[in-house]
Amino acid sequence: MSSSIAVPLSAAGARDEAVPLVDYGLIRAHLYAAFACLALSMLAGFLYSLQFLGYYPFTEGRLAELLSPGHVRLMHTNLVAYGWLVNGFTGMLYYVVPRLTGERVLSRGLGTLIFWAWQLILVLAAVGYLLDHGQAIEWGETPTGFRPGTFELVYVPVDALVTVGAVLVILQFMVPLYRARHQKYYVTLWYFTAGLVWLALTYLMGNVLPEWVLPGASGAAVTGLFIHDLVGLYVTPMGWGLMYFFVPLILRKPIWSHSLSVIGFWALAFFYPLGGVHHFLLSPIPDYVEFGAISTTIAIEIVVTTVIVNFFMSLRGSWDKLRTSFALRWFYTGAVMYMITCFQCAFQTTWAFQEIIHFSDWVVGHAHMIMFGTFTFWVYGVIDWLWPRVTGRRWYSTSLRSWHYWLSAIGIVLMFTILTAGGLIAGYMQKDLNPWEQIIDAQAPFWLFRTVTGALLIIGMLCQAYNMVMTAKAGKPFEEEEAPAESPEPVA
Amino acid sequence: MERFYTFLFVAGLGCFAIAFVLSMIFPWMSLGSYHGMEYKTLEDLAARPSVEFVELSKSYPQDFAQAFGSAEPTAAAFAEALQRGRDLYVGQACWHCHSQYVRPVANEDLRFGPVSVAQEYQNALAQPHLWGTRRVGPDLSREHGKRTNDWHVAHFINPKNVVANSVMPRYDFYFSFDADGRVRPSKDALSLITYVQWLGSESGRR
């Protein structure tokens, strides 16, 4: 397959021609695992939502204890973060990093090891949740460690394993990045380099400090920072890194403004992590710390605008591509949702908004908008582009791709709307001192609708899963028919 | 400038470190010994067994003795129950449906009780804190003394026993029943009730 992005031809890249630059087997494995996790996670979310309708299926005996709604909720969020997104992003790094640096990843064997180790970690974490060993750190519930059953000697240190896994992933990709240290570094690599470092630091900070060192309110400042950094310093850099790679590739022209890319990156790196404490506003954390977090959160909004402007200006003159490229459609729909979520951030970080919305479904809507509407959409989009290339086959069905897109897009917008509305109502009812039973009653119709929108997302996902499997099995052979694109680098 | 090391060191390590100092070190300094807040260990907290714990030992002497080794509600047994209760509260993710702090807005002091202060979380049972971010059910940080043990037994067995439209899950797997229909709480049930009944008792005690 011809290189469709201008790869700097370093001598190192040509060292051993027998080993291909990009290892498609690893990408395929990670993408399959990612999709399996996504399916399980969505199923868990759906189950959890049934609890709110009074139709929770597991209410008897041992099953009720193992698959209690609380446990299922842990599965839902953690499978999205550590199963779907980490697997998906890692698979994509295997494609993008060698392509941009001209260097192979450290080792194929290490790749296989990382793949299986990571899936094992996910299974161990899941077993931990079911046996009541989740950790009290939001988005970091991965157990510190636990003894399954009665084997006193068997200890499963999940957090330590995750850390080792993260370090291996860093090794795998830092080596090609390091080898490219003398080259001019493209924007995507900025995000990946920093994002990989941030991932390890964030995970360590969040899982160690509040657990062992910092009690109560000072620990809360760190868990707030952890929730924040995991999304902002891992998921976001990986997401934008992919966008800076794939959007120019598909549009066949460079990103509109390099200066805006620079501003966007550095402002994210500098301002974003300062906002961590905004997850616990109006709490016993000192006010001056809260004010710092609030003002930097508002500052972030300006940054986001630069990035969004940059991407939409890049689209100028190429809008028709949205009609022909599914991948681009996913990317830009995701970008719009990103803009909406970040616009929300600037307001909901204020005390005035916090008073009403903080403990309500508004925040749940916000989280789904960013984790599904943006990042899952982007991963969907990259899969749409990558899958024919890693399987060597054309998409099996175009109409299924269309169904996948429209069900997901309509589903997530409706889900966001309904959760936001229900959240506002519940928030005001709390302030108005309505009895809790009435607050529950008021939310019931919204919860029902939420389950329905969730079903739309699941049906969309199933269309895609079926399409992926059938493509790999029965798709027509895929040839890169178009001419290689120009370099995504800015034209000087 | 646009080179590997810039992004590794300046962005990757540098920016992370700045934020870490500002949002971790600062609050930690002003919340720590600076204001004379001392840290309470589990033994400190459990020094005086609560009335609810003592009552549990009287209402369910058999189950209590089975759970904690003796029918006597000692400080050691109380500590064990608090820790086990907290562990279950974490493991069953109660904290994803209940918050544990009262804010100075939205009439929360009227609904739940005194606004939370940092001191009450400076202890082993709030490490990591269980503030939570979603209130499907009410805040529990002022639950101490609000309900009777019997209410909690009925509620955990099936929340609909006491609140007809509750969406809280049933925790009846922590209980068993005699041939004549009497409730037999397990150690988990006793611990969970002890923990929930303890929540907020630190706010008055300085």
Segment (H or E) for A247: helix A236-251
Residue B189 has pLDDT above 60, yes or no: yes
Whether B139 and B158 share a structural domain:
yes
A155 or B162, higher pLDDT: B162
**Mean pLDDT of chain B, nearest integer:** 92
B40 or A4, higher pLDDT: B40
Q: Which of B3, B6, B170 has its CB closest to that of A59? A: B170
Whether B92 and B25 share a structural domain:
no
Question: Would an 8 Å CB–CB cutoff place A89 in contact with chain B?
Answer: no
Residue A6 has pLDDT above 80, yes or no: no
Q: Do B133 and A59 touch (CB under 8 A)?
A: no
Exposure string for A100-112, b = 16+ CB within 10 A, e = fewer: bbbbbbbeeebbe
Q: Which of B16, B128, B135 has its CB closest to that of A273? A: B16
Contacts 24+ apart (CB under 8 A), B36-40: B37/B118, B37/B119, B37/B122, B38/B122, B39/A215, B39/B122, B39/B123, B39/B124, B40/B122, B40/B123, B40/B124, B40/B202
Q: Which of B10, B136, B165 has its CB closest to that of A441? A: B165
pLDDT tens digit sequence for B2-22: 889 999 999 999 999 999 888
Q: Find chain B residues with C-beta within 8 A of A237's C-beta.
A: none
Residue A151 has pLDDT above 90, yes or no: no
Contact A169, A90 (CB under 8 A): yes
From residue A67, how far is each of A64, A158, B120 by CA, in Å? 5, 20, 33
Q: Do B20 and A180 touch (CB under 8 A)?
A: no
* Residue A45, pLDDT score: 97
Strands (E) across A175-322 are located at: none
pLDDT tens digit sequence for A433-481: 999 999 999 999 999 999 999 999 999 999 999 999 999 999 899 887 6
pLDDT bracket for residue A244 (50, 70, 90): very high
Whether B100 and B26 share a structural domain:
no
Q: Do A135 and B128 touch (CB under 8 A)?
A: yes
Q: Do B16 and A431 touch (CB under 8 A)?
A: no
3 state SS of A142? coil
What are the φ and ψ backbone dihedral angles of B142, each rounded to 5 degrees? -120, 30
Quickly list DSSP for B56-86: HHHHSHHHHHHHHSSSS--HHHHHHHHHHHH
Worst-scoring range by mean pLDDT, A28-37, A207-216, A398-407, B94-103?
A207-216
The CATH number assigned to the domain holding B58 equals 1.10.760.10
Nearest alpha carbon to residue A159 among A116, A121, A198, A209: A121
User: A60: distance to nearest CA of chain B, Å?
Assistant: 8
pLDDT bracket for residue A16 (50, 70, 90): low
Question: Would an 8 Å CB–CB cutoff place A222 in contact with chain B?
Answer: yes
Q: Do A293 and B95 touch (CB under 8 A)?
A: no
Say how many domains are in chain B.
2
User: B56: distance to nearest CA of chain A, Å?
Assistant: 23
Residue A2 has pLDDT above 50, yes or no: no
Residue A165 has pLDDT above 60, yes or no: yes
Worst-scoring range by mean pLDDT, A160-164, A298-302, B86-90, B148-152?
A298-302
Contact A441, A425 (CB under 8 A): no
User: In this structure, what token pair is assigned to residue A242?
Assistant: 């992919």
CA A185 – CA A191 distance, rounded (Å): 11
Looking at chain A from residue 32 to 51, which residues have their Cβ under 8 Å from any Cβ of chain B?
51
Q: Which of A270, A285, A364 has its CB closest to that of B15? A: A270
CB-side neighbour CA atoms (13 Å) of A342: 26
Over residues A121-131, the mean pLDDT reads 95
Domain of B2 in residue numbering reads as: 1-30
Contact B81, B194 (CB under 8 A): yes
Q: Do A215 and B95 touch (CB under 8 A)?
A: no
What are the φ and ψ backbone dihedral angles of A292, each rounded to 5 degrees? -60, -45
pLDDT tens digit sequence for A322-359: 988 999 999 999 999 999 999 999 999 999 999 999 99
Q: Find chain B residues with C-beta within 8 A of A282's C-beta.
A: 103-105
Q: Find chain B residues with C-beta within 8 A of A64's C-beta.
A: 170, 172-173
Residue A371 has pLDDT above 60, yes or no: yes
* Residue A12, pLDDT score: 42
Closest chain B residue to A127, measured at CA: B91
* Residue B34, pLDDT score: 58
pLDDT bracket for residue A482 (50, 70, 90): low
Report the 10 Å Cβ neighbour count for A123: 10
What is the percentage of chain A residues whose pLDDT exceeds 70?
93
* Residue A11, pLDDT score: 40
Q: Which of A178, A265, A286 has its CB closest to that of B31? A: A286
Nearest alpha carbon to residue A415 among A485, A479, A348, A367: A367
Question: Would an 8 Å CB–CB cutoff place A198 in contact with chain B?
Answer: yes
Residue A488 has pLDDT above 80, yes or no: no
* Residue A8, pLDDT score: 42
Question: Would an 8 Å CB–CB cutoff place A207 in contact with chain B?
Answer: no
Q: Do B173 and A61 touch (CB under 8 A)?
A: yes
Nearest alpha carbon to residue A289 among B30, B39, B130: B30
Q: Do A185 and B137 touch (CB under 8 A)?
A: no
Q: Do B127 and A214 touch (CB under 8 A)?
A: yes
Over residues A43-57, the mean pLDDT reads 97
Over residues A381-408, the mean pLDDT reads 95
Residue A14 has pLDDT above 80, yes or no: no
From residue A55, how far is each of A47, A58, A415 by CA, in Å? 9, 9, 20
Worst-scoring range by mean pLDDT, A12-16, A216-220, B178-182?
A12-16
Q: Do A73 and B93 touch (CB under 8 A)?
A: yes
Residue A4 has pLDDT above 70, yes or no: no
The CATH code for residues A320-492 is 1.20.210.10
Looking at chain A from residue 392 to 431, which residues have their Cβ under 8 Å from any Cβ of chain B?
427, 430-431
Q: Find chain A residues with C-beta within 8 A of B188's C-beta.
A: none
pLDDT tens digit sequence for B104-158: 999 999 999 999 999 899 999 999 999 999 999 999 999 998 999 999 999 999 9
The number of helix segments (H) and strand segments (E) in chain B equals 11, 2
Worst-scoring range by mean pLDDT, A37-51, A301-315, A368-382?
A301-315
Q: Do A190 and B166 touch (CB under 8 A)?
A: no
Residue A5 has pLDDT above 70, yes or no: no
Q: Do B4 and A276 touch (CB under 8 A)?
A: no
Closest chain A residue to B105, measured at CA: A355
Q: Find chain B residues with C-beta within 8 A of A182's C-beta.
A: 3
* Residue B28, pLDDT score: 82
**Mean pLDDT of chain A, nearest integer:** 91
* Residue A3, pLDDT score: 35
Question: Would an 8 Å CB–CB cutoff place A123 in contact with chain B?
Answer: no
Over residues B62-83, the mean pLDDT reads 96
Which residue ranges make up each domain of chain A? Answer: 20-183, 320-492
Residue A362 has pLDDT above 80, yes or no: yes
